[in-house]
Amino acid sequence: MSELTAWRTMSDSEQEQKIQQIQGQHSTHTCSQCGQPAYCEISAGKETCWCFELTKRDTSGIPSGTCLCRHCLEKLPLL
């Protein structure tokens, strides 16, 4: 949601970078579930991550500290 709110205030280059992150073109790691490129804002040096804004998911079957891509995280059941 914060990405949508901030979109109109982003520069063209910031919007392009965000699109690349979402599409997996700009990544910080590989998703442990599917092996595809994934982006973690904490790994990129920020204090919070995009996943903090999502409705909480059941990650009990995922090892602690594991970052998933957007697609795999969205597939997990809601809490």
- The whole-number average pLDDT for the span 1-18 is 81
Into how many domains does the chain fold? 1
pLDDT confidence of 13, banded at 50, 70, 90? confident
- Cβ–Cβ < 8 Å for 23, 38: no
Check: pTM over 0.75? Answer yes or no.
no
- The whole-number average pLDDT for the span 40-68 is 90
Is residue 67 pLDDT above 70, yes or no? Answer: yes
Structural domain range at position 17: 2-75
Is residue 3 pLDDT above 90, yes or no? Answer: no
Rounded to the nearest integer, the mean pLDDT of the chain is 86
Write down the pLDDT at residue 24. 64
Dihedral over Cα of 55, 61, 65, 69: its sign: negative
